[in-house]
Amino acid sequence: MRAASGAELLLLARCLSRLPVGKRESVATAIIVETQVAADHLRQTGRLHPFGDGSLLARCHQLSPPPEPVTLDREGLHCVILAAEVLLRHSDP
């Protein structure tokens, strides 16, 4: 997967914010894996995958994230941290 932008990090965090705390990490990992599947599919076939174009932005928008908050509360910050940790684990060294 290509490197995520700051906007994609925050969008992933927004997707996670709607979930129970115990499901957030596994869903974040699934979103990253699905994004990579879409990227590989596009590269191999030249066609879009149902998960999108291989960008985290496309995949997250398919999940209908909640509106962007004006400010990040404590829970929102936890989601940003978790999103960053999962992205870091799945990024190229």
- pLDDT (tens digit, 9 = 90+) per residue, 77-92? 999 999 999 999 998 8
Question: What is the count of structural domains for the chain?
Answer: 1
* DSSP result, 60-88: HHHT-PPPPPSS--HHHHHHHHHHHHHHH
Residue 1 covered by a domain:
no
| Domain membership of residue 27 as a residue range | 6-89
* Cα distance between residue 73 and residue 4, in whole Å: 23
Q: What is the pLDDT of residues 41-84, one digit of tens each?
A: 999 999 999 999 999 999 999 999 999 988 999 999 999 999 99
Using alpha carbons only, give the angle 54, 18, 92 rounded to the nearest 5 degrees: 35
- pTM for this model (two decimals): 0.93
* Cα distance between residue 85 and residue 34, in whole Å: 17
pLDDT of residue 82: 98
Q: Are 78 and 29 in contact (CB under 8 A)?
A: no
Q: Residue 93: is its pLDDT beyond 80? A: no
